[in-house]
Structure 1
């Protein structure tokens, strides 16, 4: 089998750039993965290769569970994992690219910035290679180079210093196709010609045969189902999903399809309504707090009214943007008024990273809003089990909203109260 992880020294080093090129090149039979809890990169991956991208997170799930998730979806000729931050970043939570690739035996390709340097690049590589002896670093790609001569200088030094590293090639500085885009989410709607141009330019000087050789690996065996067992529910769940509420882990969707007899997807932007026979509404995270995002749903009164009606006697589980929508308002923007809490949008982010919830859940939070008052909060989030904590979840009757994003498959027992199963 073939699998590779694209990692680097830090964020903003070109991981998404190289991952994009490889996903497009192998798009006929590739599975994308994202290490860590990020929602944005998986959306980007899926837009490129038309297959769901899977999050691998060894903080939210344990090692056996992550190994099971990886094998469950590893159904293509090659899998490409995009790392998080720098290669070792996240080790304190057990969730770095190093931790995940070591667990899965996946070879790592380091993308190293060679601009303004040559011998020092090899020294940086030595530091990464020797920091942990059981790392999976097998190859490098050199980024932001000015010429083939520059590449040969660095390549020769690395080959002199290492006998176990393959130098796969290099990427030019200032590629023409990137002058028209910052390679952000705007590329989701880009035409295929642009993606093809970007892929060709990035991969022009990379030995793809050598890359595939470096990607060969032997996956771990899949153990028996490493999660709590569950009984399929003869009930319907409504999943809210549109451009505002789009932060969904793919395995969460698949798990809910396994757990519930019927699943419907509701698009608030189109003012669709929740079925009257739905047992549970799940509202994921996304964006409702900005003026641009709010415009998409402020006039979706049929949807709002159906949600309000559902909340009178049935279950709702909401994350982040879903929580905001359940509240009274965000500044002057009126929400559904189901939960007794108001929010304000702040210029600086109020949470970022992994959190422990007093409910027993672990997960991730990233948001720029905060509640005006936490006196009615039912749960708190803290960076560590014994750390400083602040209110982050609100509840009323069978409605529960939280700032925490989490994964469902390994939390079924904790979620039973919220899902009503």
Structure 2
């Protein structure tokens, strides 16, 4: 039996990730086995979870995944003592139109698993109003239970006392209050947190967060508030077909945005994965039968990618006889040119005609439902793929044959159709699951 708990908040930027990492490390340090998950399509946080717990974390998503898939993924916590699901955005924030089994909101996962929610509340610029917000979240949806609250960034003991009293007056437990503490601030960039693997001091930062939270939060009370949980056998796993038997996967600081559950599903289906680094001027494994370029930050390394002749020529040679697929940043690198933030255009691999610019920044964010008009590695023509798109690049040219008809979560057709030319295909969305 494990203790299950969802970590959420009224909004983004309140401290969910920091509290999740701190609780996970503090309990791990006390000898408990801790398993984390990420609710929603964020592909950066699971690596932080793994750094805190020593166990791989995966995403669960009510818009893109069915209940069987979610149950299958969560069942990895069967041997844990504590299971934490970190939410995204605010507790009830999702899309307007329901997806496979929900809107993508953290509340969907909390209700589905019947786990109580630990709220992180930042009362900056307010006092008793924080209690009204917490009470509103508690009462908004009948199937979602509130365990209590941790206050973050309280200004003073007097401020804390005002907020605590108001929360207790409405019957909401306060497990602790965290004063401002710059030493545990996680660095950010334009697509979210700087990746865990890019931070040499991430272990020390998580240890400091755990020490700080243990000093100010009643960890035993938080643990007692969690639900006693035993996973039910999943009727189905992840509906993903590997793109090939042996997959050459680009993997470095420029190509790192790939969902952990995807790689696990590929391996579970018998596929082998060999990684290579385009930034180190490596080319794909010649023994592979498909090459996959995930997203990441190619716009930060465009000059180096353009200069790495062995990678570019090796990828072009690979694509003459075998499929190559790119997602988001990987799609951009398969294109003809990428303009960086300084307005400098860099030649990419030219397998597709796509031209993109990071100098003309425009945010593209949201779920995507794509119906393939032609096959791509692992998926037949006509397949319905669910994914998520998040980038700031502008399309200057997308001249190749569209790969799919792509809709956003409202059903509106969008221009980012993906492309195909010869053996090369690419999409701006990151694949999460295929509809059954």
- Taking structure 1 as the reference length, the TM-score comes to 0.87
Q: Does residue 84 of structure 1 match 2:95?
A: no
Paired residues of 1:7 and 1:87 also in contact (CA < 8 A): yes
- The whole-number CA distance in structure 2 between the counterparts of 1:180 and 1:337 is 36
Aligned to 2:396: 372
Structure 1 regions of 5+ residues with no counterpart? Answer: 414-421
Aligned to 2:115: 106
- The counterpart of 1:97, out of the listed 106, 109, 126, is 106
- The whole-number CA distance in structure 2 between the counterparts of 1:229 and 1:181 is 33
- The counterpart of 1:66, out of the listed 64, 67, 70, is 70
- The whole-number CA distance in structure 2 between the counterparts of 1:382 and 1:52 is 31
Tell me the C-alpha RMSD between the 2 structures.
2.6
Q: How does 1:108-187 map to 2 (within 5 A)?
A: 108-162=117-171, 165-172=172-179, 174-175=180-181, 177-178=183-184, 184-185=193-194
Per-residue deviation, 1:180: 9.7
Per-residue deviation, 1:282: 1.2
- The counterpart of 1:303, out of the listed 294, 301, 311, is 311
Q: How does 1:348-363 map to 2 (within 5 A)?
A: 348-359=361-372, 360-363=384-387
Per-residue deviation, 1:149: 4.5
- The whole-number CA distance in structure 2 between the counterparts of 1:322 and 1:238 is 13
Secondary structure in structure 1 of the residue aligned to 2:121: strand
Secondary structure in structure 2 of the residue aligned to 1:159: helix
Tell me which protein shows more helix as a share of its residues: 1
Aligned to 2:284: 274
Q: Does residue 48 of structure 1 match 2:52?
A: yes
Aligned to 1:239: 249
- The whole-number CA distance in structure 1 between the counterparts of 2:296 and 2:186 is 26
- The whole-number CA distance in structure 1 between the counterparts of 2:277 and 2:337 is 21
Pair 1:223–1:180, CA change in 2 (3 A): closer
State the aligned residue count: 405
- The whole-number CA distance in structure 2 between the counterparts of 1:58 and 1:103 is 9
- Taking structure 2 as the reference length, the TM-score comes to 0.85
Structure 2 regions of 5+ residues with no counterpart? Answer: 340-344, 373-383
- The counterpart of 1:255, out of the listed 251, 262, 265, is 265
- The whole-number CA distance in structure 1 between the counterparts of 2:58 and 2:240 is 22
Per-residue deviation, 1:110: 0.4
Per-residue deviation, 1:244: 0.7
Paired residues of 1:356 and 1:384 also in contact (CA < 8 A): yes
Per-residue deviation, 1:334: 1.0
- The whole-number CA distance in structure 1 between the counterparts of 2:117 and 2:63 is 20
Paired residues of 2:38 and 2:59 also in contact (CA < 8 A): yes
Paired residues of 2:8 and 2:90 also in contact (CA < 8 A): yes
- The counterpart of 1:405, out of the listed 430, 433, 436, is 430
- The whole-number CA distance in structure 2 between the counterparts of 1:181 and 1:244 is 17
Secondary structure in structure 2 of the residue aligned to 1:389: coil
